[in-house]
Structure 1
Amino acid sequence: ILIVDDEQLERNALKVIINKDINSIVEIEEAVNGREAIVKSRSFNPDIIFLDIKMPGINGIDAARTIRDSDSSVSIVFLTAYNQFEYAREAIDIGVSNFIIKPSSDSHILEVINKVITNIDNSRAEFIEKEDNEIRLNKASGYLENEFIYNLSVRGISEEKFESYLSFLELDFFSARAGISKLNYSTYPVHIDSSYQKHVLRKKTVFIIQNILTDIGLTTLFNMELSNIYFLVIKLKGSSINLDTLDISRLSIAISDEVKKTINLEVITSFGSIFKDPAESIKSFSRAKNNLVGEASLLSSVQQPSKADIFPFNLEIELEQGLLKGSRKEVLETYQHLCNWFNNSLLKYENKKRSIIELTTVLRHAVAYQQPDGICTVDDGDINEAMSAEVLLSGLNIFLNNLLEQTASVKNMENSPAIKSACRFIEDNFKQDITLEESATHCRLSSFYFSKLFKKSMGITFIDYLTNCRLREAKRLLESSNLSMKEISYEIGYSDPNYFTRVFKRIESISPTTYRSNKMLRSQ
């Protein structure tokens, strides 16, 4: 608190009251005139300033105006005599928090001080909550972006879900093109031996790609969880950029050159076909994977490799799809093709091993999305330590079989009593403010998997099932009790009666009041 008054007696009196009766931790500074108040406010940064209006030199009004220009958040309380109240309009324009008219009682001064402190506390709490919400929203957006790109590139996505993602991400989609960037970590000046180091380099590369594409008027979304960088180049509605005429080769070279220049790392970037229909997204990403072979010539320090020297990304896609379907036949057939490539490729053993390790990362992510807890428990086994092709390929075979077993256990779980348990939990607790997350925890499932499994088992979403339970009870109460709409709303788990009315009308096509009236007429 900064107390500004040219009368020592007034300053001392105010200090005594504050120190005696204000419970908050308070640090107090004093100023004897407007000029000193301006200087001290800059160094002391007060939360509250008690400012006498009538002072020699710069008066309180002018001092407040100057202080407000440099600190809009400070709370200013004017100390004023009865005959100085003509300054009230100017004070309001400056944005003062309150007035204390001299002479004033101790109780009134304390009332004003506590009111100002409460307002400050509330403002800070609102700011912190807003900041926390923004942080959570940014995190959620990041997770959603990763999941969105993963679904588009590996699993496919319905048009309805596609629109939901775009709505949350606030994107007015027109068309898009898949992109993949593969980082050659072996070209980095420092040896890369940890997943964290790779993550940092991927993040820096994403920043560079994003800047390049933003500069030409395109929007990008990225997946940072896979070994390669998967991204979507989006043309928004109303944009003048034409994806059809965009020089993809030149863009790939620009990305490669800028990454090399900025972080001294070589990277290959390829693009897929343009699509508007979300069902075509997998084809676009598959095309981008296949195009990595052609883009390999962009690496300045590497000669054009033969197709036998390039990792067969089409086999990666086939393994992902086989695992997601739980088809042991498809997975093992693709494994044999992969073994043929490994044995015939002219690449060094370490390079081929690195490709297999990256493949296991991609496949673990694919399987993790299908798991109840969102975690793939299968490890690499002997693959990381393998010193020969025989040991490595044998380890890959074991790894793939373990993945198949884990996906099979999930399919068996779809017929488990978990959802029956969830339904009982909802039936017993729908009057409370229960959430999907709480229900998933009750079943010991991840929220993502629980939501998916519930819809598949019950034919409706969790929220629709919960709503049906609540409205069934609401109709019973409307027919058999004299409870008000507000009381019924609280009774069935809704804290907002207006929301209850809107939900009831949306489901039943009539308001709860009309429903009750109709039932009463029929009974008569």
Structure 2
Amino acid sequence: MYRLLIADDEALEREGLEMMVSRMLPGQFEFIHAENGRKAIQMADEKRPDFIFMDIKMPGIQGLEAVREIMSRHQEVRIILVTAHDYFAYAKEALSLGVKDYILKPAKRDELIEVLRKQAAELEEEKRRRGEELEIREKLTRLLPLAENELTMMLMMDCIQEFDLRYLVELLNISWEQGYAMVLSFPFGERKDWEHLQSVRKVLHEDLKQYAKLQLACMVSPMIGNRMAVFVPVPSSGAGFTNRVDALVFGERLQAFAEHRFKLPLSIGIGTVGEGMEGLRRSYQEAAAASADSTDVVRIRHYEDICQRDGMPGIALDEERKLLDALQRQHKEEARIRFLDVLERLIAGSGADDRVCRDEVVGLLISLARQISHRSPAEIVSHFAGVAGMASLRQAAAEQLERMLEDMTEEREHRQFRVIERAKSYIGEHYKSDISMEQTAEYVNLSPYYFSKTFKLHTGETFIDYVTRLRIDEAKRLLESEELSFKEICYMAGYNDPNYFSRIFKKTTGVTPTEFRQHLSP
């Protein structure tokens, strides 16, 4: 049954229209009456009619004004204008507002029924189309997770096919001008840890995926082994350092959620922001490397926090990508297996000529060394001097691989030391002013989170404790001069509040500034 609202200030007109419709189309309509435009708007809100007969000329709110108000709220309603000849000119304006048809007064029965039947048929057709659209949307909703899985797997496995990629991006309605990847890895040290992960794996993935999507618009990959990836779009206007900090905050939320809900440790690696799908693929490689970095300083690491600092070139990922990825993560077993696979293929392809194979191996190692080690080509070549036979070649190649891993470990430690030294130098120049950990972290191009952990590891002190120690040492030196007042010393040591300075001084030294100066006096 349809609902028909009849809006007319003449009661006889309303009753006449109702009588004609009920006689010609019995049992098909529920009738609602409105004597003016205000009442018509109110009834449209309350009763949600399917059709409205609207008179143009009514007291108070006019018919066209009521049409405009109703259509702004209920675009699905089908309005038929009822107008006298004197107001026919208004019909054109009404049609522009979304009115479906019009009837001239006095309404003829056949014309009235024809208009209603036509509008009812169109309404049913719209319902049918909406039903089909909803069915298609429901099917599409079921397919979208599969499409998301496919696209994320293509990015992770580096098997992008241009046609498939365009299709999937269009299907998912994704606009990736730029974005970054995040790799979530659940480490396991013992068999019981692995068994626990396996027991909650499905629920873990579903809950993490749902939680991530509630936080940010993103794509989440399936869980492969103990890892999964999250791909996050970012606005093109965002600043690089801000994007990095935001990504780390997002990572902290995911880590807290997983560890609180499932009691599982979670390591997270975050890649740099890249443009388009190719940029996401590269960001994933970086995130994978950061998530498996061998240092235990932090369990949320940004790629830029572990490489490309101090103007040093980062680890390239565009050549021998999978081997480089394993080397970068210092996953010795994986790197060894991948390298030996390459070596065996070279050996098989060179036949019995070990010199040809040796040249190929040396070329590969030099190519890797350019990107991950400071080992010179001459050192590599000299290492293979005098190598004869495939057994000796295998041994020499394996030794070079291990040396590269050792070089990377030493270089990472050296870079961290160099960055901390730069930070200490910066602090030494600014500790007398209003310095913050965030300012220092930005100066050395590290995220505050990573900087805080690394600084504590290398200095044995927190940032605040380190700055406090410098200020108190400076205050002690200044207290040796009796010409300076305590207030002057307070400001010169980097404090703005003399009372606070006194409390910190006593907490650090065990005595007040006055007692310290008295102790210095002969």
Say yes or no: TM over 0.5: no
TM-score, length-scaled by structure 2: 0.45
- TM-score calculated relative to the size of structure 1: 0.44
